[in-house]
Homo-oligomer: A and B are copies of this chain.
Amino acid sequence: MSTTATAGTRPDDVRRHNRAALLRRLHVDGPATRAKLASTLGLNRSTIKALVDGLAEDGVVEERVPVQRSGAGRPSLLVLPQPQAAVVLAVDIRVERVAMALVGIGGAILARGSWNAREGRREPAEVFTKIVDTAGPLIDELAVRPVAVGVSVPGVVRHSDGFVHEAPNLHWSDVPLGGWLSRALEVNVHMGNDAELGALAEHLRGAARGADDIVYIGADVGVGGGVISNGVSMRGAGGHHIGEVGHMVVRPGGLPCYCGSYGCWETEVGERALCRALDLDENSPVGAIVAELRSARTLSAPERLGEFAEWLAIGLSNVVNLLCPKLVVLGDLFTALPPALVADLERTVRERSLVSRALGGTRVVTSALGPDAKLLGAAELAFETVLSAW
């Protein structure tokens, strides 16, 4: 019997464990032949057949003869997860916008909704009501009830019950949003810090696939960090996320921050600082900032970002020294940073950080999932428990 099968000791436990591993493999890596599943999971073909047959009976997977045959002999059947067999509701709460989606097994977005949260429409009670009001039509459209809900919040969140301790840029504190949502939607709600979920999504489906020690840095109004260590979300005391990098003081005596401190990294490299660096109005919409970052003026002369780039390098060197990642993924607005500037950043971090030097350099890349990273991360947080308990 394989190592995969030894976690449980009773036959029922073993079967449940193997079924969860199979489902997770299909969810994260997509369709695969029975032969491939057998080899990657270290299980024999008859075990795989029994598991797949069971899942097919439940409508969770479908089998097909593959189009391309891999050699002589009878082709191994291709096993495809059925997205609608298990759907989660994902919610990404941001300062400027709330996005929602129904996401199926395999990570496909099956339905979307969003609204502008500017103009004072981000009081906790209003956001809560709007989430519930938006969920209804989405569920009706797809005619599938979500089996769990995942929510991304730009703040410090208690995992156990989705209690938002503090979300400075939303001006929220002590908001029991997880409890409200689970009662209203009558389904399990899992909540996490936005950058932590960005890290999870990039690790599973984005720029950090295959990398096990990463830091994700997301920037819109706020700047946040999330850490995956040895393939797992790194957590600190009380299960809270590790890497509240936006509120690291890099410029003592600098600008005041919503968090109550001064000279935080996010006051130097967040959305407003980026606007200043680009000579844009500080309240410019995200689209205008991205357009300017991708304009010929910035692409051909990334040095016009001047001091902004220097603060980015200082903060990122600190992050690498403290959190020891092999790869840094820059997300949200940073996704649009000029490639030449990102390459410079990678070089500077390697020069300045002794941890990066010890690692033979830390790669710095931009997000592959862009504005969807946190939404997809929220979906993955919800899927974690769903798939393991299938």
Chain B residues in 8 Å Cβ range of A212: 237
Q: Is A134 in the interface zone, CB < 8 Å from B? A: no
Is A234 part of the binding interface, using a Cβ–Cβ cutoff of 8 Å? yes
**With an 8 A cutoff between CB atoms, is A306 at the interface?**
no
- The reply to whether B9 and A245 form a contact with Cβ atoms under 8 Å apart is no
Distance between A227 CB and nearest chain B CB, rounded to angstroms: 8
Interface pair B166/A244, CB less than 8 Å apart: no
Which chain B residues border A241 with CB–CB below 8 Å? 324
Query: Which of A28-36, A57-65, A314-322 lies on the face that meets chain B?
Result: A314-322
Measured between alpha carbons, how far is A323 from B87 in the docked complex, in Å? 34
Residues on the B chain within 8 Å of A242, using CB: 229, 322-324
Give chain B residues whose Cβ lies under 8 Å from the Cβ of A353: 244, 247, 261
Q: Which of A78-86, A355-363, A376-384 contacts B (4 or more CB under 8 A)?
A: A355-363
Q: Does A130 touch B at the CB level, under 8 Å?
A: no
Q: How many residues in A have their beta carbons less than 8 Å from beta carbons of B?
A: 53
A11 close to B (CB within 8 Å): no
- How many Å from the CB of A85 to the closest CB on chain B? 33
Residue in B closest to A260 when the chains form the complex, CB atoms: B352
A6 within 8 A of B: yes
Given contacts A250-B249, A321-B248, contact A354 B213 (CB under 8 A): no
B251 A252 Cβ-Cβ under 8 A: yes
Q: Does A344 contact B (CB under 8 A)?
A: no
Asked if B359 contacts A238 (CB within 8 A), the reply is: yes
Task: Give which listed residue, B158, B245, B249, B362, contacts A314 with CB less than 8 A.
Answer: B249
Q: Are A250 and B247 in contact (CB under 8 A)?
A: no
- Say yes or no for A240: interface residue by CB 8 A criterion: yes
Q: Number of copies of this chain in the oligomer?
A: 2
A230 CB within 8 Å of chain B: yes
Contact B325 A236 (CB under 8 A): yes
A166 to B158, CA, bound (A): 38
Q: Would you call A374 an interface residue if the criterion is a C-beta within 8 Å of the partner chain's C-beta atoms?
A: no
In whole angstroms, how far apart are the Cα atoms of A352 and B261 in the complex?
A: 6
**Interchain CA distance A321-B354 in the complex, whole Å:** 21
A322 B229 Cβ-Cβ under 8 A: no
> Which residues of chain A (245-259) have a CB below 8 Å from chain B?
245, 247-252, 259
Task: Please name all residues of chain B whose beta carbon is closer than 8 Å to the beta carbon of A236 when the two chains form the complex.
Answer: 213, 229, 323-325, 355
**A244 x B165 contact (CB < 8 A):** no
Decide if B237 touches A234 in the complex (CB within 8 Å). no
Contact with B along A168-182 (1 / 0, CB 8 A): 100000000000000
Question: Do A235 and B230 have beta carbons less than 8 Å apart?
Answer: yes
Indicate whether A326 reaches chain B with its CB closer than 8 angstroms. yes
Query: Do A244 and B355 have beta carbons less than 8 Å apart?
Result: yes
Q: Is the CB of B260 within 8 A of A351?
A: yes
Residues of A within 8 A of B (CB): 6, 9, 155-156, 158, 165-166, 168, 212-213, 225, 229-230, 234-238, 240-245, 247-252, 259-261, 310, 314, 317-319, 321-326, 351-355, 357-359, 362
The 8 residue pairs across chains A and B that have the minimum distance between CB atoms: A236-B324, A165-B358, A213-B237, A237-B326, A156-B358, A244-B321, A248-B318, A261-B352
Given contact pairs A213-B237, A249-B317, enumerate 12 new A-B contacts (beta carbons under 8 Å): A156-B354, A165-B357, A213-B236, A229-B235, A236-B323, A237-B326, A238-B324, A238-B359, A242-B323, A248-B248, A250-B252, A322-B322
